[in-house]
Chains A and B, each alone.
Chain A
Amino acid sequence: MNDIHPLTCQELVELITDYLEDTLPLTDRERFEMHLAECTGCQRYLDQMRWVQRLTGQLTEATAPPEATDKLLDVFRNWKENPDSDDPTTDED
């Protein structure tokens, strides 16, 4: 089974998202893991990508500005008083 050519580091970094997304075909996954087992540089690179995911997950999203929320509350109140006003909207469930 040694006829598959080993991955280079340069090739591995371009496969890293497919690896993390678990979309690599089995042979590529094996080549990936074989390389990784013996390469500190690529282990660190994978670790860095996991940090990227973890830290990005710590960011907070902007919330709706108060003007927008106020305007939408009016929309909500209108709907409450008159649920069937305006033209019927398309059913997109």
Chain B
Amino acid sequence: MSDEAVQDFSDEQTLIRHLRVGDETAFTALVTEYHAMMVRIARLYVADERVAEEVVQETWVAVLKGLDRFEGRSSLKTWIFTILANRARTRARREGRYVSLDDLMNGDDAAEPTIAPDRFSPTDGDWHQEPDDWSALPEDRMLSKETLAVIQRTIETLPPNQREVIRLRDLEGWSAEEVCNVLNISDTNQRVLLHRARAKVRRALEVYLQPE
């Protein structure tokens, strides 16, 4: 009897071993975990969805062909996304549209305050209208589908670079360094984007959770 139970690929060494011997379930697990995110990241660099998908497809081919040479000096995830970012940049350059995301920051709203100035007293900069105490709200309301849907919708409407930074950091749990590397942005800009993104999500939640 073969073991038909779902193999746990959370251990990277196990995953790599299964990939190298051509285990399709291992590959499917990897695709399920990363593919959609890869397309979105590629999309930050290249002109349209179709090109982004081509870049991701090329990346998967490169990953498979490089698998035997992969030495595990970085994590598999970092390695895959480095290949992706390099390919996406190369493709964008070839099409004459490479703009670094750091440069895009100039057109961003980074100079604006994250909270409307009228929330503070003009004389001493103290709260004029204090934030609500969310920890006093019922936890099941905070964790409800509706509340999460507000966050989801808000994230969708963010500028693309803010959107991907908050997703990678707070949803995927990537480190700041990993995000800087894959998006090719400075540490400072990564923090600015995260700051803007979180502030907008907070604001949307504040409106949603406001007592009647």
Query: Whose C-beta in chain A lies nearest to the C-beta of B150?
Result: A55
Q: Quick check: B173 and A51 within 8 Å, CB to CB?
A: no
Q: A61 vs B86: C-alpha distance in the bound complex, in angstroms?
A: 24
- Residues facing A in B174-212 (CB within 8 A) are 176, 187, 191, 194-195, 198-199, 201-202, 205-206
Q: Quick check: A17 and B170 within 8 Å, CB to CB?
A: no
Interface residues on A, range: 35 or more
CB of B100 within 8 Å of the partner chain: no
Q: Quick check: A93 and B66 within 8 Å, CB to CB?
A: yes
Determine the chain B residues whose CB is within 8 A of the CB of A47 once the complex forms.
133-135
Given A16-B195, A48-B131, A55-B142: A72 in contact with B57 (beta carbons within 8 A): yes
- Residues facing B in A32-83 (CB within 8 A) are 39-42, 44-45, 47-49, 51-53, 55-59, 61-64, 68-69, 71-73, 75-77, 79-80, 83
Question: Given A56, A64, A89, A91, which contacts B201 in the complex, CB threshold below 8 Å?
Answer: A56
Q: Quick check: B191 and A23 within 8 Å, CB to CB?
A: yes
Q: A53 vs B120: C-alpha distance in the bound complex, in angstroms?
A: 24
Q: A58 vs B68: C-alpha distance in the bound complex, in angstroms?
A: 35
Q: Quick check: B151 and A61 within 8 Å, CB to CB?
A: no
Query: Whose C-beta in chain B lies nearest to the C-beta of A90?
Result: B62
The number of chain B residues with a CB under 8 A from chain A is 66
- In terms of DSSP, what is the predominant structure of the interface of chain A? helix
* Contacts between the two chains (Cβ within 8 Å), count: 162
Q: Quick check: A51 and B61 within 8 Å, CB to CB?
A: no
Q: A75 vs B117: C-alpha distance in the bound complex, in angstroms?
A: 54
Q: Quick check: A49 and B198 within 8 Å, CB to CB?
A: yes
Q: A40 vs B131: C-alpha distance in the bound complex, in angstroms?
A: 9
Determine the chain A residues whose CB is within 8 A of the CB of B142 once the complex forms.
51, 55
Q: Quick check: B35 and A72 within 8 Å, CB to CB?
A: yes
Determine the chain B residues whose CB is within 8 A of the CB of A44 once the complex forms.
130-134
Q: Quick check: B130 and A64 within 8 Å, CB to CB?
A: no
Per-residue CB proximity of B24-53 to A under 8 Å, as 1/0? 100110011001110000000000000001
CB of B14 within 8 Å of the partner chain: no
Determine the chain B residues whose CB is within 8 A of the CB of A2 once the complex forms.
none
Q: Quick check: B64 and A79 within 8 Å, CB to CB?
A: yes
Given A49-B198, A55-B151, A93-B71: A41 in contact with B113 (beta carbons within 8 A): no
